[in-house]
Amino acid sequence: EIASCLVGSEMCIRDSTRAGGAVRHIGCLGPDGDWLRGQIADFGLSLDDIALVDDPTGHAVIFVDDGAENQIVLFGGSNLSFTKEQVLCVLESAEAGDWVLLQNETNLVSYIAQEARHRGLNVAYSAAPFDAGAVREMLEYITLLALNEGEAEALALASGRDPYDVGLDHVLITKGAQGAELCSVGQVMSHSGIQVEAVDTTGAGDTFLGAFMARFVQGEAMGALRFATGAAALQV
């Protein structure tokens, strides 16, 4: 089970649920977030852990070029309004061995990771939007680190170490059309990309990670890579 999913993007949560993951979504929405509450409910997710706050709902403005690549401008808004009480309420109901999925679009990320590990939970962390300092702060508390190829290069440059050599059990690196690679307990496995005509790459990483985690938590490392590659190909 993925005990909780604290990410700025609903897409990762949606696709993990569609892929069969048992997901609890902790989120914050502003006064303008009714349409998003409807989407979350349509995904089959509970609204019980979605807080309503005064800040406008976090969102992104996405630019897509002629090659289907994107640039994203983020407005944090309600995604920066998590409280410790809101998070602890969910973590305290999780069972040892459950997974918490985090990334850098919310506040309290390091705190959540520490509290999760203290309770015997696994932590998967997507280092996006990338910040080398934030990644270094998280390494002590996470079980799985997810990076895209550019983020992996930036981490290597900032740390002077290969991303596979940062002391973690699992490191996942996505490589766009070239597929993805997973270093799991010292074993490196890879899956090539599926060749498609890309229309818009927005959300491909979120889709990949959501689909990957739904299978990976069941102990299917290679199967998770294969499944997530197909899901990302459909997304683009």
pLDDT per residue of the chain (236 residues) written in tens, 0 to 9: 333 444 445 567 666 777 777 889 999 999 999 999 999 999 889 999 999 999 999 998 888 888 888 888 899 999 999 999 999 999 999 999 999 999 999 999 999 999 999 999 999 999 999 999 999 999 999 999 999 999 999 999 999 999 999 999 999 999 999 999 999 998 999 999 999 999 988 889 999 999 999 999 989 899 999 999 999 999 99
Ramachandran quadrant class, 203 (left: phi over 0; alpha: psi -120 to 50; beta: rest): left
On whether the pTM is more than 0.75, the answer is: yes
Q: What is the rounded CA–CA span in Å between residue 125 and residue 20? A: 20
Distance of CA 221 to the CA centre of its chain: 17
DSSP 45: -
Q: Per the structure block, which two tokens stand in for 48? A: 């019980």
Contact 16, 214 (CB under 8 A): yes
pLDDT value of position 2: 39
